[in-house]
Structure 1
Amino acid sequence: MIPAWLVIGGVALLVALAINLLLRGDLKWFFQLRRPRWLTFERAIPVIWTVIFVCGGWSAYIVWVAEPGTSQTWGLMAGYLLLEIVTLLYTPIMCNFHSLKIGAAIGATGFFVCLILSLLVLPVSGWAVALLLPYLLWSPIGTFVTWKMIPLNPGAA
C-alpha cells in the first residue's frame, strides 16, 4: 500500500504541474509592474510559499491519519485540494487577465477558504490547524501587497 504522505504529496505535485502547464500566465507582464518601495522581501516569497505548501500537505496528512477513509476526512481532503487550486490559480489568472484586482480577489478567497478549512479541521487536530497558520498569516500580506500595487500600476488594475 502507498503511504498517505506520498499520495498527498503526489496529488499536490500533480495539481501544481497541471495548473502550471495548462494555464501559463503572462509572467513578463507581472515582472514589469512597479512594486511598493517597502517591498524588500520579494525574493523570499517563493521560499515562503514553499514552506506554506509543505505545512499544508503535512496538515492534510495529520488529518488523514487521524481518521483515514471516512467521509468527513474525504471532505476535508477536498477542502485542502480546493485551497491548493485557489492558491495556484492566483498567478496565471491574474497574469492572463492583466488584473491586479483579480489577483487580490483570488488572494482574499484563498484566505477565507483556509480559514473555513481551519475551522473544519479544528475538531480533528489542533496540530493540523497550527500547520495552516502560516497560510493564514501570509495570505493577507500577499493580498495586501497585490492591492498596494494597483495605484502604482493604474493600467493593470
Structure 2
Amino acid sequence: MWIPIAVAGGTALLLGALGGLMTPIGPWYRDLRKPRLQPPNWLFGPAWTVILALAAWSAVLAWGAAPDDAAHTRVIILFAVNAVCHALWSPLFFRARRPDWALVEVVFLWASLVALVVGLWPISPTASLLILPYLLWVSFAAWLNSAIVRLNRPFA
C-alpha cells in the first residue's frame, strides 16, 4: 500500500509545485480587473494544498478499493487525465497571459473532475466525495476566470 501513497502524494506535491511555479503574481496579473468576489492572493496556496491532499487521499482510497485490474486502470486513467488538465491551466492563464484560452481549458479540467466523481463512485463512494471540494473550487475558479475574461478582453 506504500506505493500508491507515494505515487498519489508525489503527484499532489508535483502538481502543487508546478502550479506555484506557473503562477507569477506580477504586474500583469495585479493590473487585471477582477470581480468583487475575487479571494485574496494568499488564499490560493492553502486552498490548493488542501484540495490536492484530498485528491491524493481519494486516489489512495480508490486504488485500495478497486476490485480488479480493470478498476485499477480506470482509477489511473481518471486521475492522469485530471492531472494533465490541472497542469495546463496556470501556464495558459499566467505564463501565456491568455485567460481566454484558460477559460476554454478549465472546461476540460471541470469535466475531468465530474468524471472522477462519477467514475470513482462505484469503486469507493468516499474517494468520490473527497473530490467534491476540488470540483467546487474549480467551479468557482471557472467563474472567476470567466469574469476576468469579460472584464479585461480582448487578449492578444
Q: For this structure pair, what is the TM-score category when the shorter chain's length is used for normalisation?
A: 0.7 to 0.9
Mapped to 2, the partners of 1:118 and 1:95 lie a distance apart of: 28
Q: Where does residue 31 of structure 1 map in the other structure?
A: 30
> Is the Cα contact below 8 Å between 1:87 and 1:106 reproduced in 2?
no
Q: Which moved more, 1:46-55 or 1:73-82?
A: 73-82
How has the CA–CA distance of structure 1 residues 112 and 149 changed in structure 2, closer, same or farther, with 3 Å as cutoff? Answer: same
Query: Tell me, which stretches of 5 or more residues in structure 2 are unaligned?
Result: none
Structure 1 residue 74 displacement after superposition: 2.4
Q: Which moved more, 1:135-144 or 1:147-156?
A: 147-156
Q: Which moved more, 1:43-52 or 1:24-33?
A: 24-33
> Is the Cα contact below 8 Å between 1:16 and 1:88 reproduced in 2?
no
Q: Where does residue 8 of structure 2 map in the other structure?
A: 8
What is the SS of the residue equivalent to 1:150? helix
Q: What TM-score does the superposition give when structure 2 sets the normalisation length?
A: 0.83
Mapped to 1, the partners of 2:88 and 2:24 lie a distance apart of: 13
> Is the Cα contact below 8 Å between 1:108 and 1:140 reproduced in 2?
no
Counterparts of 1:13-92 in structure 2, within 5 Å, are 13-14=13-14, 24=22, 28=26, 29-67=28-66, 70-92=69-91
Query: Tell me, which stretches of 5 or more residues in structure 1 are unaligned?
Result: none
Mapped to 2, the partners of 1:103 and 1:38 lie a distance apart of: 19
Mapped to 1, the partners of 2:81 and 2:143 lie a distance apart of: 22
Equivalenced residue count is: 155
Structure 1 residue 60 displacement after superposition: 0.4
Q: CA RMSD in A?
A: 2.6
> Is the Cα contact below 8 Å between 1:60 and 1:80 reproduced in 2?
yes
Amino acid corresponding to residue 71 of structure 1 in structure 2:
A
Mapped to 2, the partners of 1:64 and 1:139 lie a distance apart of: 24
Percent identity of paired positions between Structure 1 and Structure 2: 25
Mapped to 2, the partners of 1:49 and 1:17 lie a distance apart of: 10
How has the CA–CA distance of structure 1 residues 82 and 70 changed in structure 2, closer, same or farther, with 3 Å as cutoff? Answer: same
Amino acid corresponding to residue 136 of structure 2 in structure 1:
L
How has the CA–CA distance of structure 1 residues 134 and 3 changed in structure 2, closer, same or farther, with 3 Å as cutoff? Answer: same
Mapped to 1, the partners of 2:19 and 2:39 lie a distance apart of: 28
Q: What TM-score does the superposition give when structure 1 sets the normalisation length?
A: 0.82
